[in-house]
Structure 1
Amino acid sequence: MAAHRKPKHSPLGGQAARTAATLALASAATATVFEGSGHTEPRLTPAQVKAKVDRLYQEAEVATEKYNGAKEKADAARDALDRLQDESARRTDRLNTARNGLGSIATAQYRSGGLDPAVRLALTSDPDQYLARAALVEKAGQRQASTIASVRRELTGIRQLRAESDRRLTELRGHEADLRQQKAAVQGKLTEARSLLARLTAEERARYEAAAAGSGRSGGSGSGTDTGTGTGSGTGSAGARADRDSGRGGPVTAPNGRAAQAISFARDQIGKPYVWGATGPSAYDCSGLTQAAWRAAGVALPRTTYTQINAGQRVSRSQLAPGDLVFFYSGISHVGLYIGGGQMIHAPRPGAPVRVAPIDEMPFAGATRVG
């Protein structure tokens, strides 16, 4: 008879097994906590926040200039489309007039009975009168041929205009898509900058904003109301008054009257807020300010920094004269109006209004003389 064997028990049975399971879960939870905390971003110092915000504002300015370029192209495409549609409407009116003229001629021919001219001459009681009328009919036939040719020209022209309109419409939609993309890029950078600034304490934020009021490139609050970009200090602030006084301090010897006019206009804008995409009169971005200043002097500049740099004669830094456009960063993403003495008037960034600043506070990229 086979011996009965006792069933084997797990060494961690009963209470021991439950204890082991509890310890395992606790270990897993602890590991999860440590693993999760490893991904938590450490608190940035004010200096680190400033560095990141400066970088974001500079990237936002790059996107702003791309937005300005896309808007300029979209506006041009929209204007061209409007002109094409107006011309198409005018040609359609001329076509309808020509068609009505052909209809009148056809009706007159039908009413005349369409008799052979020789038969009409044989039956008429007044041959002289008939020949006079025949000459008029021949002239009418010539006019008819001319009208038909005109109709054909109008039809061809309208077809070409419609094809060009379709091309311009496609082009416009592409520029509008680019416009939306660049707008989203600008707003994303500014939102990220505001989020970083929100990490600062009230005291740190106050020091940061005071620095922004004193130097155009040391950051800004970005807390304004216009498209969420920040409006900076108003024209009544002490910083704005100091900048305006600095901009007016002493005569500036401009090389010509137009340069003097551009500088005078730019001085009058000191203290007005930076708003991306703005061209005045109440706010500006950097290229919007230089464009408006030279427009006041009777010179039409293109809209963006990377097109303005090619709008005149390039000059070296050692050759700078008041009224020259000075450009910064490798991507030509910022521009100011040189006023002499190593100084410029420029629209710095959100939170920092139009002001006088030294040209060596940013990496110099080139200069152009216009006017």
Structure 2
Amino acid sequence: MASHRRPAQHGQRTLAGVTVLSAALATAAAGLSAPPASASPTDPAGREAALARVRTLYEQAERATEKFNGADARTRKLRDEATTLQDRTARAQELVNRMRGLIGALAAAQYRAGGLDPALKLMLSERPDSYLEKASALHRLGAAQATHLRELRGAQHTLETQRRQTARKLAELESSRRQVARHKKHVQHKLALAQRLLNTLPMETRAAYDRISRSDGRGEMVPDLGGAVPASGRAAAAVDAVRAAVGSPYAWGSNGPGAFDCSGLTQWAYSWAGVWLPRTSQGQRGAGRQVPLGQVQPGDLVIYRSDASHVGMYVGNGQVVHAPHPGARVRYDPVGMMPISSVTRP
């Protein structure tokens, strides 16, 4: 692992940038769509305020992204469940049709023999339940006919149950689809605001910001894992995968292999170790054993912010690998780059 390169100077620049921006967050106003009239992006104070707003918007976009990821994962699950229920409903309908065909054949044979028993007329009706509920009328049926009728009633009951379950599931699916669309719109809105703010900055400031954001640290020494030992063989495999992803672009809603958001990166890395993780950082927080920060080992998931809206993977020597925000690349950063909520060992 010592062959990897580390952003020694870049890490310091990034941490310094994060510190400056984080300090400015406390004064960022709620009206994020435009700089205050008194602060011009061409003066130092205005540039700092604009960059602070960009950082805030990216954090809000990331929170919305994790909500999008959760709604999208739920939609996929509901779609599979709805498909299964629709298949079951179709099979139940097929059974009802087949049984009604059998009873129809019995009726045709009886008709040819000299007349149709009123009991068979009831058996061929859409809802024979009312007839069956009249126990006094059962004696009019032969044993075979009574059995067929009971089987038909059971099959129709199953069909109605399946139809109701399918309708409920399809309604849930539609609601989840609306949530996905709403969260997607929210993410796109925040990102558009951030880009508009960046576009107001002087070219040299914007170029410097882009260099810091897009740097992946390649060409400089990455800290060796040294004596840090992964918690397990699967953790070691996940660490290898996440380090191989360094330099990949951030893309919200993506979980590889060419681009990632924060939870998509850790989910993808652990999939290489044969471990399934939930799609969101909030879900990943509960996908294992909680350990104290002082006992963190390579492969552990470091969950950030009180709402668990960001996640990175600890790789040793005080470093995590994570997908930071739009416009940035997967990179190494200090584990304490932002407030830590918890540490999870999958």
Q: Output the TM-score relative to the length of structure 2.
A: 0.77
Over 3 Å counting, the alpha-carbon distance change for 1:184 and 1:319 in structure 2 is same
Which residue in the other structure is 1:345 paired with? 321
Find the counterpart in structure 2 of residue 284 from structure 1. 260
Are 2:215 and 1:241 equivalent residues in the alignment? Answer: no
Closer, same or farther in 2 for the Cα pair 1:339/1:143, shift >3 Å?
Answer: farther
Q: 1:177, 1:279 → 2: CA distance?
A: 22
Give me the identity figure in percent: 41
Name structure 1 gaps, 5 residues minimum: 1-38, 116-139, 215-238
Tell me by how many angstroms 1:191 deviates: 0.6
Q: For 1:85-110, what per-residue CA distance to the aligned partner results, in whole angstroms no more than 9, with x for missing partners?
A: 11101111111111111111122222
User: How many residue pairs were aligned?
Assistant: 284
1:42 aligns with 39
Change (3 A) 1:251 1:293: farther
- Partner residue, 2:307: 331
Partner of 1:79: 80
Between the aligned partners of 1:109 and 1:293, the Cα distance in structure 2 is 69
Matching of residue 178 in structure 1 with residue 175 in structure 2: no
Contact 2:262/2:312 (CA < 8 Å) preserved in 1?
Answer: yes
Deviation readout 1:70-129 (Å, 9 max, x if unpaired): 1111112211111111110111111111111111112222233369xxxxxxxxxxxxxx
Shift of 1:213: 3.3
Map of 1:348-359 to 2, 5 A cutoff? 348-359=324-335
Within the alignment, does 1:360 sit opposite 2:304 as a pair?
no
53-62 or 101-110, which moves further after superposition? Answer: 101-110
Name the larger-Rg structure: 1
Q: Relative to 1, partners in 2 of residues 1:40 and 1:241: Cα closer, same or farther, differing over 3 Å?
A: closer
Deviations 1:4-42 (A, max 9, x none): xxxxxxxxxxxxxxxxxxxxxxxxxxxxxxxxxxx8453
Amino acid at match of 1:273: P
CA distance in structure 2 between the aligned counterparts of 1:160 and 1:362, rounded to whole angstroms: 51
Give how far 1:252 is off: 5.5
Distance of aligned partners of 1:41 and 1:81 in 2 relative to their CA distance in 1, 3 Å threshold: farther
For residue 143 of structure 1, report the CA deviation from its aligned partner.
Answer: 3.9
Equivalent residue letter for 1:299: V
Distance 1:280 1:343 in 2: 22
Q: Do the aligned partners of 1:247 and 1:356 also contact (CA within 8 Å) in 2?
A: no
Partner of 1:263: 239
2:97 corresponds to 1:96: yes
Contact 2:285 2:344 in 1 (8 A): yes
| 336-345 or 248-257: bigger deviation | 248-257
Tell me if the contact between 1:240 and 1:353 (Cα under 8 Å) persists in the aligned partners: no
Alignment of 1:308 onto 2:284: yes
Query: 1: CA distance between counterparts of 2:202 and 2:211?
Result: 14
**2:156 equivalent in structure 1:** 155
Distance 2:68 2:286 in 1: 19
**Structure 1 segments of 4+ aligned residues over 6 angstroms from their partners:** none
Give the direction of change, closer, same or farther, for the CA distance of 1:143–1:289 in structure 2 (3 Å limit): farther
Maintained 8 Å contact 1:102/1:147: yes
Shift of the alpha carbon at 1:164?
A: 1.2
Report if the CA contact (8 A) 2:213-2:329 is conserved. Answer: no
Deviation at 1:141, TM superposition (A): 4.8
8 Å Cα contact 2:228-2:317 kept in structure 1: no
Which protein, 1 or 2, shows the higher relative CO under an 8 Å CA cutoff with sep ≥ 6?
Answer: 2
Determine helix, strand or coil for the equivalent of 2:307. Answer: coil
Question: Equivalents in 2 of 1:326, 1:333: separation in Å?
Answer: 11
Q: 1:156 to 1:247 in 2, by over 3 A?
A: farther
SS of residue matched to 1:198: helix
1:329–1:365 Cα contact (<8 Å) kept = yes
Q: CA RMSD, aligned part only?
A: 2.3
User: What one-letter code is carried by the residue in structure 1 that aligns with 2:93?
Assistant: T
Question: What secondary structure is seen at the aligned counterpart in 2 of 1:108?
Answer: helix
Q: 5+ unaligned residues in a row in structure 2: which ranges?
A: 1-35, 117-140
Cα–Cα, structure 1 residues 251 and 145, in superposed 2: closer, same or farther, change >3 Å? farther
Q: Does the residue aligned with 2:78 lie in a helix, a strand or coil? A: helix
In structure 2, the residue matched to 1:197 is: 198
Normalised by the length of structure 1, the TM-score is 0.72
- The Cα shift of 1:155 comes to 0.9
Preserved contact between residue 277 and residue 284 of structure 2 (Cα < 8 Å): yes
Show CA shifts across 1:249-307 (max 9, x none): 76862121111111111122111111000011111100011111111111111111111
**Counterparts in 2 of 1:171 and 1:203: CA distance versus 1, 3 Å:** same
Q: CA deviation at 1:57?
A: 0.5
Show the counterpart of 2:15: none
CA distance in 1, matches of 2:38, 2:66: 32
Which residue does the alignment assign to 2:207?
A: 206
Residues 145-187 of structure 1 deviation map (CA, whole Å, 9 limit, x = unaligned): 3322221112111111111111112211211221111111111
For 2:68, give the aligned amino acid.
Y
Q: Could you say what secondary structure the match of 1:327 adopts?
A: strand
Provide the rounded CA distance (Å) in 1 between the counterparts of 2:245 and 2:94.
Answer: 49
TM-fit CA distance, 1:342: 1.3
Using the alignment, how far apart are the partners of 1:97 and 1:305 within structure 2? 50
